[in-house]
A and B are shown apart, each in its own frame.
Chain A
């Protein structure tokens, strides 16, 4: 009896552990994902924006998905969105490493 309970406890806890590890795939985090609030970008001080700055480039990627296609992300990004049937090319949260 005791052994049964122990076995069950180990089984349940290792199951919980495996599930929690799997829950860490980036795509899992997509549930209830927040949208970038790009309207805020319009209010930022444009004179201080530096297009060489990675933070600036990253914000452009998030907010100007239709306009901006650089060489690096355009190639694998497009396949991605076709395969996934999902316009996540710039953000590519589902990229496999």
Chain B
């Protein structure tokens, strides 16, 4: 008796799973999901994608060894100049609130010159640096965030992580001085 109950129950579950699968496929092929960057995901898709992204990064990044000397002036200068050249167009800088990229990309690039807590996670602890290093190196699929590993070695990426650590507190004057690649014309003693 118990065995027969179990069998019929399993049969119903199987049929239900089949219907869900076929329904899912029909949905994919129907073309009704809006793919344009100007229509946000619904809450379920958003949750699913965000969970997928954060779990994947956490899994991949938690073993990365963070250099001990991130708080160095040398790293700030190298990373700052690179950030200004390659990232500020999407991730902003002090006193800038938007660019064409921040307005048009979906997911929108977070403003890295404001604190992490303002875009959904806090910047405490080593994981923040591991996570940023991984994201800069590998990029994020199906978002505007490129992988920077081609053409940029790990040291250069760590320099940018070092800069990102200090970026939220910088004034626009400090930002300009730290990121300028040119030489200062004043005070040259050689």
Interface of A toward B, CB cutoff 8 Å: 20-26, 29-30, 33-38, 40-41, 43-44, 54-55, 57-67, 72-73, 81, 87-88, 91-93, 95, 97
Contact = CB atoms under 8 A, between A and B. Distances in A.
Given A26-B81, A29-B81, A97-B153, A37 B73 contact: no
Contact of A33 (B77, B180, B186): B180
A64 B177 CA distance: 12
Given A26-B78, A62-B77, A97-B153, A55 B181 contact: no
B176 A40 contact: yes
| 9 tightest A-B CB contacts, nearest first | A66-B189, A24-B151, A57-B73, A33-B181, A33-B182, A58-B73, A35-B182, A40-B173, A36-B180
Given A34-B182, A38-B177, A88-B183, A93 B81 contact: yes
Contacts of B121: none
Interface string B157-187: 0000000001001100110111111111111
B151 A87 contact: no
B81 A63 contact: no
Contacts of B73: 54-55, 57-58, 60-61
B176 A63 contact: no
Contacts of B178: 36, 55, 58-59, 62
A40 B186 CA distance: 12
A87 B183 contact: yes
Given A24-B152, A41-B173, A55-B76, A34 B181 contact: yes
A34 B93 CA distance: 16
B156 interface: yes
B150 interface: yes
Contact of A63 (B86, B184, B189): B184
B168 to A, nearest CB: 12
A22 B151 contact: yes
A66 B155 CA distance: 27
Nearest to A39: B186
B4 interface: no
A51 B134 CA distance: 31
13 contacts: A29-B181, A36-B176, A36-B177, A36-B184, A37-B173, A38-B184, A38-B187, A55-B170, A55-B174, A59-B174, A61-B74, A62-B178, A63-B187
B71 interface: yes
Contacts of A25: 151
A37 B180 contact: yes
Nearest to A22: B151
Interface in B31-76: 71-76
